A and B are shown apart, each in its own frame.
Chain A
Amino acid sequence: MECELDSRALKSDEQLMAAYVAGEAAAFDELFARYAPILLRVMRQQLHSQEEANDLVQQTFLQLHRARHDFRSDAKLRPWLFTIALNLKREHLRRLKRRPETELTLDGRNDPKVGSEAGRLEATRTLEFAFEKLHPSYREVIELHWLAQLSFAEIAELLGATVSAVKVRAHRGYAALREILQDGVE
């Protein structure tokens, strides 16, 4: 049993997906264990509600299941899965467009104290505020690079852009993010 679990953990995402398409339900659980935490991090940005994030992650895995026969063996699963997730998130945000903006200010804030729970909460809110201020195209790249931990090449594939264009957006995005955080804290 343990050996079986270990062998699944050693398999690549693509091998797991192929196994799932072939009918091995446990492979889906392994994919869930690998990607649910990362997807939750990505979904939590801009959504402010854990429930909405959970719902979108659930939808992402449901869509992965429905699209399983479209998965080509030579394709990479990660960009595939994140395209589904981002499309669902984009659609969800469009539906919420008329919802009033969350009022978050950075006035009087100090640097987050990493480690303590209060500091962590403060840092989360600071970051949410900063992400909201970012241009959507910069935000998208930073979410995928930092929170989803995709490589620049994977982000480029996912967004249909060149690696150098993605790097330029990341450069500008991180610079803008730093500026927002510094302006807010000072």
Chain B
Amino acid sequence: MNCDQVRDHLLEGRVAETPEVQQHAAECSACHELVATRGLVEALRAGAPSANGAGQLGQLQAQVRAELSRETSGPARLRSMRTRTRLLLALALIVAIGVVEGTLLARADMPFVPTEHLLPMLGILGLLAVAAAWVALRPLFRPALPRSFELVVLLLCLSVPAALSFVQPDTGHHPSVDGFGADFFHHAGACLVHGLTLAVLVWLAFRALDRQALGSGLGALVGGMAGAVVATLGLQLHCAIPAAPHWLFGHAGVGAIVLVGLWIRQRL
């Protein structure tokens, strides 16, 4: 007799005192504890909530069928794609935003931005965005990630864009040119709106790709913060104002607003 047969034997309500059961219990500590008290086994057997009656199960099945019949729309097809495909689509969106911001909407001083500044910055933000996408779009049939890991990714998504605000490339563009004084809120506000637009775009795309529509929990927050990271990446390629206060308010501010917005959404 093996562990499963002992469990099934007891589940069927048969006596535990058969030689086969006793012999297995003597060799297996887990099964020994299971059969040790007959009262426990009876309580487990009687107390195990029974399944609904056939009628109620039928009703539940009808509800599931109705739910499945609604799974024919475009977004539903997107969610049903393989996880690898969904991740590739997320990656394609991140790359597309980077390309558009770095070419069509590129900062005025782009030719003067040193490669040794641009490449590490793109690498760090890109990796972070991909890691956040991986956490947010993780399928439910995989064991859940440790909460500490999700928390670390979330904190990185918030702190790295803020930290990068203090690493400015020297392009010969003096801070006094614009983005300061009376212009500060005008320029920072424009960057904030630009960044929030990108963040919302990424969030909507991830929501469409996620099988739970970024419902709740830390994974959903990380998914939203991926949008903020991509927004920071886009703004780094788009904005030429080399002043930390501008970047803190107009760029890293996107992450703070997104986090607060997501937190409120989860509480509602």
Which residues of A line the B interface, CB within 8 A? 28-29, 32-33, 36-38, 40-41, 44-45, 50, 54, 57-58, 61-63, 65-70, 80-81, 83-84, 87-88, 90-91, 94-95, 111-112, 114-115, 119-120, 123-128, 130, 145-147, 149, 151-152, 158-160, 167-168, 170-172, 174-175, 177-178, 181-182, 185
Contact = CB atoms under 8 A, between A and B. Distances in A.
A182 B37 contact: yes
Contacts of B215: 91
Summarize A's interface: helix, strand, loop or mixed.
helix
Interface of B: 3-4, 7-8, 11, 28-30, 32-34, 36-37, 39-40, 42-52, 57, 60-61, 63-64, 67-68, 71, 76, 79-83, 139-144, 211-212, 215-217
Given A41-B50, A124-B49, A111 B42 contact: yes
A114 B45 contact: yes
Contacts of A125: 47
Contacts of A44: 49
Name, among A66, A128, A167, the residue most crowded by chain B CB atoms within 10 Å (CB to CB).
Answer: A66
B51 A40 contact: yes
B80 A167 contact: no
Nearest to B218: A94
A36 B63 CA distance: 13
A41 B43 contact: no
A107 B81 CA distance: 53
Contact of A63 (B36, B37, B140): B140
A177 to B, nearest CB: 7
A37 B57 contact: yes
B44 A171 contact: no
A61 B71 CA distance: 12
Contacts of A81: 141
Summarize B's interface: helix, strand, loop or mixed.
helix
A69 B29 contact: no
A36 B44 CA distance: 20
A83 B143 contact: yes
Contact of A50 (B28, B52, B71, B82): B52
Contacts of B40: 174, 177-178, 181
A70 B140 contact: no
Contacts of A69: 80-82
B139 A90 contact: no
Given A66-B211, A149-B8, A36 B37 contact: no
A178 B37 contact: yes
A37 B53 CA distance: 9
B32 A171 contact: yes
Nearest to A83: B141
Nearest to B84: A70
Closest 9 CB pairs of A and B: A127-B47, A37-B51, A174-B33, A123-B47, A123-B46, A44-B49, A170-B30, A171-B30, A171-B29
